[in-house]
């Protein structure tokens, strides 16, 4: 059997592991200096397939093992023993190449909360310049929104009468219409902003790596799966990686300055653990030599657990009909011609951010609406009948889970235990959200179009019945984070410091959603891109210039 050892084959200043939302940005930013050499290792392929660039291609890519890690949760009585899918991007651009395209920063209190947890430099005023540096958007307050960044953020060009009626109904229930939830306030209802330009998905591979890929000081290696970080004592000196699923192909690339792990909230803690950085008891159990006992690696996992309410529609064609022939042919033609089309849509059209109960000072719920019926238990998978769907999840869940390496085998999937609804407060918020979603689907404005509720159905009414439905059919929103969280050295569960350096070792940083100290009130792609932009300055000691 081949062993995972060997001398370095090449040396670079920086070795970045993972070419996703964060890794692609870091590779592009660090290689701006022609005197700095960068090697980017990505376990998946290049982003050449057309589905990765067509927004509606999400349906074809998110469950495709070529482009996404097909992870799932461990069975849990809290969700009736189900294995819940947790796909993660495995292609250049990572999850920004396969996700639902929503651009959502969160609330300013989220980041002020990060700073209050002992992370100086991560308050809202500190991170706003990096959100703006990342973003290219024509509309919104120029003091808050970026105009010249690489990442295109656009409004939805295609609408539907039912979506307009839904928004009108939400306004009638007291929600303000909010044209820019990434601006001064998140609260309200309106259309989503997406990482789309014209008819194309704008992944970080396309916006950052494509312009940088011909630089002589940047080496991009795809189908290169990291098997462990190489240490000399407690200093990270390189990365061992394999081409294919065998250690016989393994090679070592050395880092003069730093190894930077950007593998995402499930793969990052697994790689650290496989490399000897993590809870000593777990590493000993797996037979992995301990480099540094760091109990927080793989802890603090957080995610958005979502439930969808579905109601039938009459009298008008929904996305369900438009996605089938012969109408689909017309939508394809419109997309090819650059006209508004369902092929340039994200899975959700409308957002609503609101409170699960009276007396709260900011939204604790995120909701989505689409004029389509979706199969319950599957994200983005259309059902066969015309309908409309309103999904909801608690913004800032209290439940925390874990991710653990299953064995010392670097090709084994991690064991992921999200512990959805483990905290009773999450169940309370979700119940409030489900009842509000029902009200939103039954406003007078939608009465002319709505028929019977199909999910959970009119027979489901009590709190116990609603929660049973949530446990039976609820799904991940694919916003896992926090598994290598940021915090001060005196916090025993912190993994990285405020400069994203791993505690207790040298030459090693983590830059991805793993480092989030607490889940933002948002989809996580925008925050992850911000983290990468800020990390590029931290690594180059330029952070004071951006303030």
85-to-69, 184, 459 alpha-carbon distances in Å: 10, 34, 28
Instruction: Please state whether 507 falls in left (phi above 0), alpha (psi between -120 and 50) or beta.
Output: left
- For 165, counting Cβ atoms within 10 Å of its Cβ (0-12 exposed, 13-18 middle, 19+ buried), the class is buried
| CB of 145 closer than 8 Å to CB of 182 | yes
Please report the DSSP string for 93-151 in residue order: TGGGGTS--B-----HHHHHHHHHTT-TT-SHHHHHHHHHHHEE-SSS-TTTS-SSSSE
Q: Is 364 helix (H, G, I), strand (E, B) or coil?
A: coil
**Preceding amide of 418 cis, omega within 30:** no
Backbone angles phi, psi at 440, to 5 degrees: -65, -30
Longest dimension (CA), the chain: 70
| CB of 528 closer than 8 Å to CB of 21 | yes
Instruction: Please state whether 64 falls in left (phi above 0), alpha (psi between -120 and 50) or beta.
Output: beta
Pairing status of strand 508-510 against strand 251-261: parallel
Active-site residue (options: 160, 351, 395, 479): 479
**Is 479 noted as a catalytic residue in this protein?**
yes
Q: Is 21 helix (H, G, I), strand (E, B) or coil?
A: helix
Pairwise CA distance, residues 25 & 501, whole Å: 18
Q: Is 387 helix (H, G, I), strand (E, B) or coil?
A: strand
- For 367, counting Cβ atoms within 10 Å of its Cβ (0-12 exposed, 13-18 middle, 19+ buried), the class is buried
| CB of 32 closer than 8 Å to CB of 208 | no
DSSP summary character for residue 57:
G
Q: Which residues are catalytic?
A: 479
């Amino acid at each position: 059997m081949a062993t995972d050892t060997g001398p370095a084959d090449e040396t670079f200043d920086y070795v970045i592991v993972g070419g996703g939302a964060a890794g692609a940005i870091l590779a592009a930013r660090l290689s701006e200096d022609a005197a700095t050499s960068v090697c980017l290792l990505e376990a998946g392929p290049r982003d050449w397939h057309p589905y990765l660039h067509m927004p509606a291609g999400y349906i074809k890519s998110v469950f495709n093992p070529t482009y996404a890690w097909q992870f799932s949760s461990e069975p849990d009585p809290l969700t009736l023993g189900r294995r819940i899918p947790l796909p993660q991007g495995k292609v250049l651009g990572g999850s920004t190449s396969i996700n639902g395209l929503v651009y959502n920063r969160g609330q300013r209190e989220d980041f002020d909360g990060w700073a209050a947890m002992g992370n100086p430099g991560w308050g809202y005023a500190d991170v706003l310049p990096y959100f703006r540096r990342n973003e290219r958007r024509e509309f919104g307050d120029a003091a808050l929104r970026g105009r010249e960044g690489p990442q295109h953020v656009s409004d939805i060009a295609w609408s539907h009468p039912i979506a307009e009626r839904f928004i009108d109904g939400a306004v009638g229930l007291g929600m303000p219409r909010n044209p820019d939830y990434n601006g001064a306030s998140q609260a309200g209802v309106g259309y989503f902003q997406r990482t789309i330009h014209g008819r194309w998905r704008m992944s970080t591979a396309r916006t950052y790596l494509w312009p940088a890929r011909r630089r002589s000081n940047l080496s991009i290696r795809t189908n290169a799966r990291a098997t462990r970080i190489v240490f000399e004592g407690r200093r990270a000196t390189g990365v061992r990686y394999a081409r294919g699923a065998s250690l016989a192909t393994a090679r070592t690339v050395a880092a003069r300055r730093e190894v930077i792990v950007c593998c995402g909230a499930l793969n990052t803690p697994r790689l650290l653990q496989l490399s000897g950085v993590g809870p000593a008891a777990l590493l000993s159990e797996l037979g992995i030599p301990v480099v540094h006992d760091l109990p927080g690696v793989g802890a603090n996992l957080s995610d958005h657990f979502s439930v969808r309410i579905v109601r039938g529609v009459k009298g008008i064609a929904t996305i369900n009909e438009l996605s089938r022939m012969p109408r689909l042919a017309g939508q394809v033609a419109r997309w090819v011609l650059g006209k508004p089309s369902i092929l340039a849509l994200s899975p959700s059209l409308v957002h609503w951010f609101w409170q699960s109960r009276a007396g709260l000072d900011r939204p604790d719920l995120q909701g989505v609406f689409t004029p389509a019926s979706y199969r319950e238990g599957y994200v983005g998978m259309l059902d066969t009948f015309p309908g409309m769907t309103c999904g909801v999840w608690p913004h800032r869940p209290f439940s925390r889970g874990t991710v653990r390496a299953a064995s010392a085998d670097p090709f084994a999937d991690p064991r992921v235990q999200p512990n959805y609804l483990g905290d009773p407060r999450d169940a309370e918020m979700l119940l409030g959200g489900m009842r509000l979603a029902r009200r939103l689907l039954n406003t007078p404005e939608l009465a002319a179009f709505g028929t019977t509720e199909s999910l959970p159905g009119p027979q489901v009414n009590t709190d116990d019945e609603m929660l049973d439905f949530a446990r039976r059919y609820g799904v991940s929103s694919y916003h896992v984070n926090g598994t290598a969280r940021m915090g001060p050295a005196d916090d025993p569960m912190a993994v990285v410091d405020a400069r994203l350096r791993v505690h207790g070792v040298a030459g090693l940083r983590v830059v991805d959603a793993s480092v989030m100290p607490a889940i933002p009130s948002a989809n996580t792609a925008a925050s992850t891109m911000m983290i990468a932009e800020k990390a590029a300055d931290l690594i180059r000691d330029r952070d004071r210039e951006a303030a």
